[in-house]
Amino acid sequence: MEVKNLTCVECPMGCQIEVGLSNGVVEYVKGNTCPRGKLYAENEIKRPLRVLTSSVKCVGGKMLPVKTDKPIPKDMMMDLMSKINACHPSLPIKTGDVVIKNLYEDVNLIATKTIE
């Protein structure tokens, strides 16, 4: 049996989690103090997810900080960056405005700052 050790990032506790794998299948998860830790560990082993943060150059040259409104698969980040880099939104834009709708499946890229 293969054993992986992870540090949970779902809350400030930072539980040290041990995941037992048999032929790539999660057999057990221990060390988590809440159910979120177990779910985090299982997802981290199967297909890690992350919120993608970046910035885009607006029409006129100002830089706009952006992020995905939901986590995306970690292995998709570089592919999605080409779409993000090709985006040049017009101003004004407000925090929370959708910059790219459905960047990945039902995940949108949103502005994290208001720029006039």
Give percent of the chain above pLDDT 70: 100
Residues 50-74 have a mean pLDDT of 96
Residues 83-109 have a mean pLDDT of 97
Looking at the predicted structure, is the pLDDT value of residue 29 above 90?
yes
Cα 108–Cα 111–Cα 113 angle in degrees, nearest 5: 160
Looking at the predicted structure, is the pLDDT value of residue 24 above 90?
no
Q: What's residue 12's pLDDT?
A: 92
Together in a domain, 57 and 27: no
Together in a domain, 68 and 90: yes
Residues 54-67 have a mean pLDDT of 97
Structural domain boundaries enclosing 29:
2-46
Domain tally, the chain: 2
The CATH number linked to 88 is 3.10.530.10
Cα separation, 19 vs 13, in Å, equals 18
Q: What is the mean pLDDT of the chain?
A: 95
